[in-house]
Structure 1
């Protein structure tokens, strides 16, 4: 169902859709070196030394300091609390009178006459006022107490979070104030070290290498949950959260999963094996003895532990306990039974997660054994390392695939039941099957044909990348159309003849918008996996007047604040709360239509430019992005598209001139079925995975059209 916020924001909560890490060290593996644009794990980042990071931070400090006419230390405080974004920091500073009054160096409190003694509120010692210091909040304390306060905080690992000692005063102490009162050199150095750590952690584009004793810092202008590999210590981690790379599971989900594993796994087996529900009051009971005659401590009911039958009527039918019986009333079970069912679900995924984790350790041992065997063969003049490199590649790829598979289980555990989960589990099963095939062939590598093994390597890697592409980059899916059609969003029901088209992330774009009306005129929905996107745009609204914003666009950031991971109603609320008359920046990501470019006739408008109005020529945009001017389609092409469309409708339940046209273009210049099949496989038509029979039928439709025949599907 759909609803509308009071601000005029629309959203829908019944649309389901999709989402979005890990890796294995592939130093020895040169498999499938392809275009980075096609690599779902490609991520651009820079490696920085400490001096380079300090220079980068100081540039932002200087920019804000000059802009607001404040000291560099105060600029650091403001930037640190606003994720080092200079413009938002400046806006926050200017729009908040309280902050300006506190941080403005011109508003320092007046000091008492020189020589006058004051009593410190902490140590209660009378001290001359020259030995007192205070922040802009005017809370005065003696310098010795300030120094002790700083020392205690630093020893606890606090630096940028050090605040005024006054009760309920949260004013932060700037760096220059702290350093001016710290006399011990080791403490000063430790404070600066901790402050640098905090600055880097608060900067969204920076990430420390989590490797032991590694001081490198990584920077990416597009911080995402992507694989990052340290060139110095070889540690692989997720850039966004700093933990082990965990694709296709997103950062919040893997955090929940690891927490759950730590909390539940130690007790899961015990609970499963040693507790049952009382058949009368349904309270959970623990079996702590060998006798099967149980008495519920809550309702005093006597029953058999084995069959849960009434102990009084158990009598001579004790053998019934050994029979397995289905429970027809599982949906009516108690809360405890449902909890046990939830535990059973968790154990299902956890056991597989743990099994692949153990298998990875065995794969590492296998890799070392292979290297040892290769070395022995080379020493015995049975080929060179180059001759046997494919075995190392295979073992490395196997570990890489198994690592991916391991992290599919947390994702599947939290995925809501429905078409998306069914699709994911299908691809998960396909990947698992190919991994086991590859593992079996590697174990028998010396008797396995090299070509067969290399073919299996290729298949396994394609299964892996396909799963990652689909579930790292999918925004939403449409049913029976590859167009960005919000009326065809994939819901909960799929027929046997339905076709699903996945729309992935495309080009990002940023638009500055001034909120001149309460209502922006957006209908926002989400895909159930943290991606909110535009479902409808109200005609005549603010958004409708901006050509660059289209239906299907994914909302990524609002004023540099990421909305990934938020539900549609949360995003709607954020937009609603933007003050009327203010200007904000919206970062959007265009969806890619499911594998197809714009194919559209442009002859309807008259004009002088060739291809835009002659009526005999058409500017056609091909799927590869190129454009060409072609003569008005002849009868052969019309007949071919008509024949192909009949086949598509008969076999796939869709009628789409753009798809039929692309298939016709793939057949241009081809002389036989094999050439046509290769052309299809090398284009984005390959996403359809047409069967051999379908390829033959399509080629028949093409050849019939060339001969002037109309083809009717059998």
Structure 2
């Protein structure tokens, strides 16, 4: 093989490596399975709780409100805004009181009393009542139906608010797991929490590939074109399949808008105008009737549009 042919072969191999996102950019992102995403979320909660020492659900709900930005949360926390942080996240402040346990379930039959449920308007034994961290009580059957409605039908997980008027406190994981007795409801609940974690976190994104359940975790924004293990290549920021290197998302969107505007302009010209074959002047239809006669003294051309 000649030296020229050898050089050409080296150039071709370099080009292949340069256009492969999996080889060139794999150090800037990771591909996670759904199970790994759940583990990563738990790890973030544990790391944050090493500073906050809150209940797990409280920490997760607060992190969700801060879009899982630990630095911003800790900055607010050490500024002395602990109670305000809990209030904005719609959780009961751990500094005020501990979550109320379901102690009614452990009472003896002699100690049981009838409690009034504000939903079904029936009196229920106290061991058949459920409560949230706010301390409001309703019968467990009504709470189970309410959770099923919010979680399964409405797709709400992070912000399932308690039923009392102007209560403002969200259900915790402990309360949901204690009250929900349907495996489908619990499965949907965990799926929604995981999905919310990915969509709310600026460093995570689901793969847009058909049938793919993987997620991408970006370590830095040095390169935004990523490749999932399923083979799908896309832009991490805007989700465009195939990516749009080397231009940014904003420049790509401007280019698409410009192309669409030009296409619409050409379509309008095709519908409303016709070019005179003699003087090359556009004839415009500017009234409602489709019948139009164009007359120009210099060329004497007549046309029906």
TM tier relative to shorter chain: 0.5 to 0.7
Residue 204 of structure 1, CA deviation: 2.5
> What is the aligned-residue RMSD (CA, Å)?
4.1
Corresponding position of 2:146: 149
Matched position secondary structure for 2:130 = strand
Q: Contact 2:37–2:194 (CA<8 Å) still a contact in 1?
A: no
Corresponding position of 1:74: 58
Q: Contact 2:102–2:130 (CA<8 Å) still a contact in 1?
A: no
Corresponding position of 2:157: 159
Q: Contact 1:74–1:174 (CA<8 Å) still a contact in 2?
A: yes
Bigger-Rg structure (1/2): 1
Q: Contact 2:25–2:226 (CA<8 Å) still a contact in 1?
A: no
Corresponding position of 1:578: none
Corresponding position of 2:176: 178
Residue 164 of structure 1, CA deviation: 2.8
Corresponding position of 1:291: 291
Q: Contact 2:224–2:235 (CA<8 Å) still a contact in 1?
A: yes
Residue 271 of structure 1, CA deviation: 4.3
Q: Contact 2:235–2:244 (CA<8 Å) still a contact in 1?
A: yes
Residue 192 of structure 1, CA deviation: 0.9
Q: Distance in 2 between matches of 1:286 and 1:145?
A: 65
Of residues 232, 236, 245, the one that matches 1:239 is 236
Structure 2 residue 81 is the aligned partner of structure 1 residue 84: no
Corresponding position of 2:208: 210
Q: Distance in 1 between matches of 2:179 and 2:75?
A: 31
Corresponding position of 2:129: 132
Of residues 197, 216, 231, the one that matches 2:195 is 197
Q: Distance in 2 between matches of 1:151 and 1:256?
A: 44
Of residues 45, 48, 63, the one that matches 2:47 is 63
Of residues 81, 84, 92, the one that matches 1:95 is 81
Q: Distance in 2 between matches of 1:257 and 1:214?
A: 30
Residue 261 of structure 1, CA deviation: 8.6
Q: Distance in 1 between matches of 2:249 and 2:40?
A: 27
- Seen in structure 2, the aligned counterparts of structure 1 residues 121 and 274 have a Cα distance that, compared at 3 Å, is farther
- Higher deviation after alignment, 65-74 or 179-188: 65-74
Residue 176 of structure 1, CA deviation: 2.4
Q: Distance in 2 between matches of 1:177 and 1:257?
A: 50
Q: Contact 1:225–1:238 (CA<8 Å) still a contact in 2?
A: no
Cα deviation per residue 1:24-73 (whole Å; 9 max; x = unaligned)? xxxxx73436799xxxx846222233333333222221122232222212
Residue 272 of structure 1, CA deviation: 4.3
Matched position secondary structure for 1:30 = helix
Matched position secondary structure for 2:234 = strand
Q: Distance in 2 between matches of 1:119 and 1:318?
A: 93
**How does 1:561-640 map onto structure 2 within 5 Å?**
none
**How does 1:500-519 map onto structure 2 within 5 Å?**
none
Q: Contact 1:164–1:170 (CA<8 Å) still a contact in 2?
A: yes
Structure 2 residue 94 is the aligned partner of structure 1 residue 104: yes
Q: Distance in 2 between matches of 1:235 and 1:249?
A: 19
Q: Distance in 2 between matches of 1:164 and 1:251?
A: 41
Corresponding position of 1:319: 300
TM-score, normalisation: structure 2: 0.66
Q: Distance in 2 between matches of 1:149 and 1:261?
A: 49
Of residues 32, 36, 44, the one that matches 1:48 is 32
Q: Contact 1:50–1:215 (CA<8 Å) still a contact in 2?
A: yes
Residue 151 of structure 1, CA deviation: 1.6
Q: Distance in 2 between matches of 1:141 and 1:265?
A: 61
Q: Distance in 2 between matches of 1:190 and 1:260?
A: 42
May I ask how many residue pairs the two structures share in their alignment?
261
Residue 234 of structure 1, CA deviation: 0.8
Q: Distance in 2 between matches of 1:154 and 1:258?
A: 38
- Seen in structure 2, the aligned counterparts of structure 1 residues 255 and 178 have a Cα distance that, compared at 3 Å, is farther
Q: Distance in 1 between matches of 2:43 and 2:171?
A: 21
- Seen in structure 2, the aligned counterparts of structure 1 residues 234 and 286 have a Cα distance that, compared at 3 Å, is farther
- Seen in structure 2, the aligned counterparts of structure 1 residues 176 and 249 have a Cα distance that, compared at 3 Å, is farther
Q: Contact 2:102–2:131 (CA<8 Å) still a contact in 1?
A: no
Matched position secondary structure for 2:300 = helix
Residue 188 of structure 1, CA deviation: 1.0
